[in-house]
Structure 1
C-alpha cells in the first residue's frame, strides 16, 4: 500500500488504488486522511485510557446533568411561552404580577437553556476529547477525490476517539436538550402565524382600530393629561399655528371606565398626531383624501410605516415629521409621504372634523392599515 500525499495538498504524487481504499479499515482510512492533509500527530492521549473508571463515570454524569438542565429549561420555556398569562393586566387589577413576570420568565428559561447547552458541549470537549497536538502544513489548492473520500472516515474516527458512541447517557440527554431547544425555537417562530389575523374580514384586527365608529357613537379626539379619568377633548382654538398634539380616541360611553380609557391610550394603533399648519401653507393632498383635514388641521397616525416606531417629532419650520428610530422623515404638507429614510409608505391619515359642540371628532376609522409597510393598503 502506498500512502503518498495528494497532488496539490502535500506535493507528493502517490495515492492508494481504488481497491486498496476498499480494503482499508476505518482507522487506516482516518490515518490516511491525516497523511493526505499533511498532518503529523505529535501527541494523542485519551482522557480515560481505562474505560469504566469512577472518574470517567463522574465526568459523564456531569456532562449529562448540564444537558438535562438545558432540556428542562427548554421545556419550561415552551410551557411558559404557551401557557403563561401574557395579556395586559392593569397594575391595579388581580393578575398583574403574573403578567409582569411573563417576559422575565421566558427570557430566563430560554437563556438558561442556551447557557446550559453551551456548558454541556464545552464540558464534553474538555473532559472526553483526547489531548492531541498536531502539526499541519498549509497548502494552496483544492483537495482531490481521495482526500474527499477519506475525510468522512477521519470524522468518524474522531467520534470514536472522543468515545461518544458508547456514552448513552450523554447522547440521550444531549438529544433531549437539542430537541426541546429546537422545538422551543420552532414554537417561538411559528406561534405568531397560528392565529389568523385576517379572520373577521373588514372587521379584522389588522384593518380596524379603536378609532372606528361603534353603534354610531361619536369618537372624540382627546389628549393625555396624565390623569386617566380626566377627559380633555380638543377644540381648534386649543392649538397654535405650527403646533402638534398627540391625541387618542374617546367615547362618552367610556367615561369613568378605566379599562377602556387605558386601552385607548395603550393600544399600539391609537396614537395620532394632530398638526395645525401655519395659515397659507401650500398643501398637496392625497387622491381620495381631499376632505380628510379640517382647515389647517391634519391628523396622521404616529406609527411609522417602516417598523412601527412612534413618529414623535414634528418640525414646524419645514413641516417634517420625524421617526427617531431609523430616521425616516415624512412631509406633513404632502399627505405625510416619506421623503427620507427607510419608510416607503405615507403615514395613514385620520379623517377629522369639528362637531356642533366645537370639538374635534373622527369622521371614520383609517381607510388603510396602520403599521409597517408590509401591510397592503385597503382597495
Structure 2
C-alpha cells in the first residue's frame, strides 16, 4: 500500500518538477507587480499599472499557463508529445468547468493544478490507445491526416469530459477542503486548521483555501484589529523550509541533492509549490508539515501575531513589509522559526524511519528521476 501511494505521489511530483522554472517566473512577477508589489513600493510603477499587470499577467499565468504545462507534462509522460498536446487541450475543459462556492458564500475558480494532474495522464493514455488501434490500419500516405484528425477529435471529446466530469469533481474537492478549513476556524481551533490546509496545499488547492477562505477572513479582521493571523495560516514559509532542510540533512539520493536549492526558492522566493513534490514522493512527510504548521500557529495565537495584509507570494521578503508596527512582529518571526524547527525535527525522524528510495531504483520512480535530470546542477548518475 505504501509503495503504491509513493508511486502515485512520484508520478504527480514528476509532472511538477520539470515546470518549477515557470512557477518561479510567476512568483517573481507576482512579487514585483501585485499590490503592494516591489515595483509599486519603489515608485517605479503606479497603482493603476500594478493592477493592470496583475490582471493581464499574474492572473492568466496562474489560471492558464501553469495548468497547461502540468497537463502537457502529464500527457507526455504517458505517450510522448502527442499525449502532451492532448493533455494541454483537454485541461481547458477542466479550467472552464471548475469553481467553488463555500458555505459562507465565498466563491471563485481556483487554479486547476490538481485537475491538470488528473486529465494530463488520462489524455496521454487515451491518445496511446487511439494510436495503437489506428496506426496499423492507416493507409500509407494518410499518416498526417490521421495524426491531426485523431488528435483533434480526441481533444474535442476530452475537453467536454474535463468540463462536465473532471471540473465538477475538482470543484467538489476544493469546496470540501475550503468548508473544512472554514469550519475549524469558525470553531476557534485555529492551529488544527493546519491539518486540512497542508493536505490541500500538497494537492495544489492552496489558492482555493487561501483566497477563498483565509484572505476574506483576514481582511475582515484587519478592518477591526489592524492585523490578522489568517494571512499566515497557509502562507507561512517556515514549515516548508524545515521539511526541505530535513531532506537535505536526513534524505538520500536526488531528493537530498535538490533540497537546498528548493529551500532557497521556497523561503526567499515564496514558491511553496517546490516543496509539494517532496511530500508527494513520501506521503508520510505530511506529518512533519502538520507538526510545523500547528506549532507555528500555536505561537501565533499565543503571541497575538498577525500581518496587516496577505503576503504574495508567501516568502520571508513578502512577510517583512506586512509586519504590524504596533507590536506582534516578533511573534510572527518566532512562529516562522518554530514552524521550521518543528517540521525539520519531525521530518528528520520520519526520513530515518521511512527513507525515500533512490528515484532510479525502480521503473515506478523513473518519472521523477527523469524530471530531476533536467534541473541544472543535479546529477542522476
TM-score w.r.t. the length of structure 2 is 0.24
Instruction: Mark the structure with the bigger radius of gyration.
Output: 1
Name which structure has the greater RCO, CA cutoff 8 Å, separation 6+: 2
Higher strand proportion (structure 1 or 2)? 1
